[in-house]
Amino acid sequence: MEAKKCKICGEKYPETSEYFYKRRDYKNGLDTTCKFCRRKEDAERRERLKANTKKCSQCGKDKPLNEDNFDKLKVVYRSVCKSCRDKNKKKHLETKQRKKKEIEQFKKEKRERDIQDEKAFRKMISQPRTKGLADKEFDYPLTIGKKYKVIKLALREGQTRTNETFQGELTQITDNFFVLKNKVGFCECFLKNDYKLGEIKILEV
Q: How many residues does the chain have?
A: 205
Annotated domain spans of the chain: 3-51, 67-126, 147-204
Q: Band of the pLDDT at 128, cuts 50, 70, 90? A: low
Model confidence over 48-71: pLDDT tens digits? 878 888 989 999 898 998 999 999
Residue 21 and residue 6 in contact, taking contact as beta carbons nearer than 8 Å: no
Residues 6+ apart with CB under 8 A from 58: 80, 81, 84, 88
pTM exceeds 0.85: no
